[in-house]
Amino acid sequence: MDQAESGFKDDHLRVVLRSGLLFCLFFPAMEVRAQSLESISVSQAALNVNDPVFFTVKLDSKTGTYACAFDVDFGDGSAKRRFRVFSEKDATVDVSHVYRTPGLYAAKVDGVISLLDEGISLKSFGSLLPAFPCEGSKAVAVNVVTSNDKTCIPPPDESREVACSDGTTGQIVQRRSYSCPGPTAQPWVTERSDCKGGSNTAATTPEAEAAKLINRGWASFVGKSGGVDEFEAFRLTAEGLQKAGAGENREVSSIAKNNLRVIHKCARDPRVRDYSLGQKVASKEVGKNRFSSENYIWGVFLRTEEADPQAFIKFLKTELRSHPVTGYIERNSGRLPGNNAEALRILKGAAVKGDYNAAKWVGYSYECGPGAIRVSDALKWMSLAAENAEKKGAAVGDLRSINERVTRLRLISQQ
């Protein structure tokens, strides 16, 4: 053994010993088995090859504390994915995967010891700490078949009437839709209920009905059920907005309007895509919820939304010092980009250095800009955003939203 190799092994041993010491100091023995793997579920039990599938891993804790690690094995021989959980708010973890060949696979989660920077940490300081294994092992079956999207024709929506619960009078009207591959029946959704009397009135509030419709609309837009249907996304969201208005719930209405703005600006279907209307919707929603405000802030930086530059920059510096756009402006000599092309140059430079927000908004600009959608460019940059987000240990919600857009772009690129 030469001296260089010996030195490497000695250094490696010291790192392992230090990690073990930290392991014992940070996690007392009594809490070693506090966190358990409760379940792993899959968005689709049957799917086509090369279609993304989404898994949800749920953890539980007897003590209310979370500090453990687990591996996700997709069962197809691909590399396992490691996650490190340090907070109760991250006890539900979403992960996506693509199967390349047909077959029946068993996706598993198993607890593992994770030292230092191994795996995706779901809390910023988590990479500094070792993690004990999450207790237990769970599995779920996934059936992957040869693509049959071209032959799948979903039937029309179905409606049915069901009786109210005991002790009440009236009727409940429900509807369900079908999606490909399959076709696969979606869950029944209550559209109307006029149940009255008794102690267990089954009536659904307009807000709850609106939220279900809005969620179904977004699922149709991003391809959660295996295909993108932009017209259906628009129809369901508009219907949800109408019901939300009836219930006078401003937050639900605002989210619906923001979703409509995105659908109008980003759709490929000419019946739905209306960039001007998308801008108009956004201008009425600024500040009403975090989604519309965030879209507007990035739109001003990309020079696709109008704002007084000085007032906008002052607002960012006083109210949103930590916002990524504030940092980009400061690095751009304290001014907004002169045009969209300059804004994209700034974001691309940050994206190739690992900034997932920058990559996401470059992809969004190519998908949702005023011109024709550039699917290949949008997919390239949104995929880089997903890669950067995983490396940075982005919040679960951020990673999920980026993966949803990647799924959508992949699906429409095949249409």
Mean pLDDT by 10 residues, the chain (415 residues): 39 41 42 71 77 86 77 92 80 85 88 70 52 86 68 67 70 72 64 66 66 89 87 88 71 85 90 84 71 83 88 88 91 92 93 94 92 90 92 85 91 84
Q: What is the DSSP letter of 30?
A: G
Structure confidence at residue 154 (pLDDT):
63
Is residue 404 within a helix (H) or strand (E), and if so which, with residue range? helix 396-413
**Cα-based distances in Å from 228 to 20, 61, 192:** 49, 37, 27
Per-residue pLDDT tens over the stretch 388-409: 998 888 888 888 889 999 999 9
- Domains of the chain in start order, with CATH, are 26-145 (2.60.40.10), 303-415 (1.25.40)
pLDDT of residue 117: 57
pLDDT value for 206: 74
Please work out, in degrees rounded to the nearest 5, the angle formed at the alpha carbon of residue 57 by the alpha carbons of 67 and 127: 35
* Sole residue written with tokens 């539900």: 92
pLDDT at 245: 74
pLDDT, residue 175, reads 77
Q: In 90-217, which ranges are E strands?
A: 92-98, 103-111, 120-121, 132-133, 137-145, 158-163, 171-176, 178-179, 184-185, 189-193
Question: Can you say whether residue 264 is alpha, beta or left, with left for phi > 0 and alpha for psi between -120 and 50 degrees?
Answer: alpha
Here the contacts of 307-312 (C-beta below 8 Å, separation 24 or greater) are 309/335, 309/336, 312/336
Report pLDDT digits (tens) over 180-194: 555 566 666 777 777
What does DSSP say about strands 137-145 and 46-48: parallel, antiparallel, or unpaired? Answer: parallel
Beta-carbon contacts of 215 under 8 Å, excluding residues fewer than 6 positions away, are none
Strands 184-185 and 178-179: antiparallel
Phi, psi of 3 (to 5 degrees): -65, -40
Q: 188, 174 in Cβ contact below 8 A?
A: yes
Q: Are strands 132-133 and 68-73 parallel, antiparallel or unpaired?
A: parallel
Q: Given this model, what pLDDT does residue 164 score?
A: 73
What is the torsional sign of CA 21, 23, 27, 28?
Answer: negative
Q: What is the pLDDT of residue 72?
A: 94
Token look-up 């769970």 returns 138
Selection from 72, 81, 65, 194 nearest residue 132 by Cα: 65
Which of 106, 116, 105, 122 is closest to 59 using CA atoms? 122
- d(C-alpha 33, C-alpha 49), whole Å: 37
pLDDT digits (tens, 9 = 90+) for 294-347: 888 888 999 988 888 899 899 888 888 888 999 999 999 999 999 989 999 999
